[in-house]
Structure 1
Amino acid sequence: MTLRDWVDETRTRFREEGVAAASRESAYELYLGGFRRLSPFYPGGENVFDREWDVLLVLDACRVDLLRQVAALGGYPFLDRPGELVSVGSSSIEWLSRTFDEDHREAARETAYVTGNPFSQRVLSEADLHVLDEVWRYGWDDERGTIPARALTDRAVATHREFGPDRMIVHYMQPHFPSVPDPLTGGMNAETLGEGKGWEDPWEKLRRGELSFERVWRSYARNLEYVLDDVALLLRSLDADRVVITADHGNAAGEWGVYGHPKVPIPVLRNVPWYETSARDDGEYEPELERPERGGTEEGVEDKLSALGYL
């Protein structure tokens, strides 16, 4: 956002929202803008292609402490080798752009990427990868306003069994809000998505004092458990000696006065989990979701990004 954009948005806010609300929101945007100027001075992070793994499971917007908390409760025995990584980005678009960069072009061409994150269309093409399966194009759930974890699991199992790639990345959308098992707002539906209205981000509602930290965190944790149940299924449905569970970025819950995951360089956004495990296919699960021949269209891409709070 340029200074002129900020001024124009501030004028609009004062007309539509009143002095108090407009002052609060514009001050926050100005604060974030100043923070973004520090990005060149923040450590660049480590590209995941520089580490050893056969299958990389990316949990979108997963905090280190959240995964530790859920792991400590038990129920997910594959979360027994914890570690951390400094991510290359504070948001999905940064992570994608800096992961699939020129220095790692050859590694990417040997990799299958199965993704539920709509930002893939801004960064990648089929020529960049061994397999590019943009599941969000045809597996999106308009009622929930996100892509269910099972859609990614199905396509990851099918892709691994059919193509046997040297490496595979599976990019789940959870625990990124909206929370599938515990929605905090009315959520998305086909009508609001079609109008591109976006949604009420729980992190923003927390910032404005409309939701308590405890309520947001509980929903966030349940969404993580929801996707980990599918990770458990995936680990029983393919063969891989080195599987890593990580995240593209984290979420801020008030640290440094920041909420959600704007493109600002703070540790809670850049430090992500790195859990190592393995997978063995017991042959019992047969995926149901099939990939359409043409993989969907461009229609509705911006609406999906807006629904996830990106626009």
Structure 2
Amino acid sequence: MDTRSRLVRALDTPVLFCRHANRLYHRRLGLRRCNEAGTDPFEADWDTLVVLDACRYDMFERRSTLPGDLERRQSRASTTVEFLRANVDGRNLRDTVYVTANPQLHQHRESIRAEFADIVEVWSGDGWSDEHGTVLPETVTAAALRANEEYPNKRLVVHYMQPHYPFVGADADFDGGDFTDPEATEENVWVQLLQGRVDVDREAVWELYDANLDRALPHVERLLRDLDGKTVVTADHGNMVGERSFPIPFREWGHPRGIYTPELVDVPWLVYEDGPRRTVDASAPAAADGSLDDDVVADRLRDLGYAE
């Protein structure tokens, strides 16, 4: 989206000016590009890093029964792209394979340079569920276990799409439209809520959001049980569900970039150890595959609720 389009959109939605003002506050007028108080996950000790997209600490604490020791940490980011820029860009990660359901690294491959041993793009091809407009968690787990067999001497990052929108298998039709259907509107669910274009109680949104995490957790547990070594379960960022932002206290929805409220940056950090640790090497990375159709990538991102 170009500058003119952003301005027109902001004029149509004045609350976006408030959001921008809050962003200037959190980013210190542009003097910092990320939440500097956050944890650098790639500096931590693990064999497998599980990333649950848009999973708040408080919801994980309420819903998860995964084994391990849980603590609260801060992410360096409030969006996936910001998470990748803050933690991956320019980094030598030849000891790591990235298994991802999120197309954002591919979408921003020209500006986010990461040297992984391999990138398994689960969202491309058969990994994508047209029915649900996302990648299902069982698909990600299967891809991660295959990657572990193929790369027994690499660390794994396994990026699940849930609990991020769309809400898998939900059946909810609120006044203003069915925002469980990624094809029902060009605006993502959180923009509709921000603009007041759907009439829905916050608790109803929370039920959908919680259920999306519940949908993923059994498949994450399978991954923990089937992989040896030290596994950390965390999130790239959180999500606001109608809480007051700051310093301008309007009701915020979704996960806007550059805003570091607790709801957006407080994430789980669950450590689970089982079996022998992995012996890791950092041999040359696999050749990049640039053959994916840009239109396909754009369609995937739109289904996942990312605004252009």
2:299 aligned residue: 303
Instruction: Give 1:93's aligned amino acid.
Output: V
Does the aligned pair in 2 maintain the 1:60–1:172 contact within 8 Å? yes
2:286 matched residue in structure 1? none
Output the CA distance in 2 between the equivalents of 1:206 and 1:70.
Answer: 26
| Aligned: 1:37 with 2:30 | no
Partner of 2:261: 266
SS at match of 1:132: strand
1: CA distance between counterparts of 2:94 and 2:267? 25
Does the Cα contact within 8 Å between 1:96 and 1:123 map onto a contact in 2?
no
Q: Report the equivalent of 1:231.
A: 220
Q: Does residue 180 of structure 1 match 2:176?
A: no
Is 1:222 matched with 2:207? Answer: no
Unaligned runs of 5+ in 2: 173-177, 246-250, 277-288
Q: Secondary structure of the residue that 1:155 maps to in structure 2?
A: helix
Which amino acid in structure 2 is aligned with residue 98 of structure 1? A
Higher strand share: 2
Quote the Cα distance in structure 1 between the aligned partners of 2:260 and 2:114: 31
Structure 2 counterpart of 1:275, one-letter code: L
Provide structure 1 residue ranges, at least 5 long, that are not aligned to the other structure. 14-25, 282-293
Q: Helix, strand or coil for the counterpart of 1:211?
A: coil
What is the distance in 2 between the residues matched to 1:37 and 1:117? 27
Offset from partner CA, 1:170-197 (integer Å, 9 cap, x none): 00000011111325436447xx49xxx6
Does the 8 Å CA contact 2:190/2:253 hold for their aligned counterparts? no
For residues 43-67 of structure 1, the C-alpha deviation after alignment (integer angstroms, 9 at most, x for no partner) is: 4122101111110000000011101
Aligned to 2:116: 129
Rounded Cα–Cα distance in structure 2 between residues aligned with 1:173 and 1:51: 22
- Cα distance change, pair 7–49 in 1 and its aligned pair in 2 (3 A): closer
Report the TM-score when normalising by structure 2: 0.79
* Offset of residue 268 of structure 1: 1.3
Compute the displacement of 1:92 (Å).
0.5
Secondary structure of 1:49's match? helix
- Distance in 1 separating the partners of 2:169 and 2:273: 27
2:193 paired residue number: 205
User: Does the Cα contact within 8 Å between 1:146 and 1:308 map onto a contact in 2?
Assistant: yes
Structure 1 position 206, deviation (Å): 7.2
Shift of 1:225: 1.1
Q: How far off is 1:81 after superposition?
A: 1.2
Counterpart residue number, 1:117: 102
Name the CA distance, whole Å, in 1 between partners of 2:136 and 2:232: 21
CA distance in 2, matches of 1:201, 1:53: 34
- Residue 69 (1) aligns with residue 54 (2): no
Count residues with an aligned counterpart: 273
**Higher share in helix:** 1
Q: CA deviation at 1:245?
A: 0.7
Q: Is the 8 A contact 1:204 1:260 kept in 2?
A: no
Aligned equivalent of 1:278: 273
Q: Is the 8 A contact 1:130 1:165 kept in 2?
A: no
Q: Does 1:55 align with 2:48?
A: yes
Deviation at 1:38, TM superposition (A): 2.1
Q: Contact 1:135/1:152 (CA < 8 Å) preserved in 2?
A: yes
Aligned to 2:151: 163
- Deviation digits for residues 72-97 of structure 1, max 9, x if unmatched? xxxx341x411122111110110011
**TM-superposed deviation, 1:100:** 0.5
Q: Partner of 1:236: helix, strand, or coil?
A: helix
Query: Which deviations, in whole Å up to 9, do the C-alpha atoms of 1:3-41 show, x marking residues without a partner?
Result: 744543366x4xxxxxxxxxxxx2211111111212333
RMSD: 2.8
Instruction: Report the identity percentage.
Output: 33
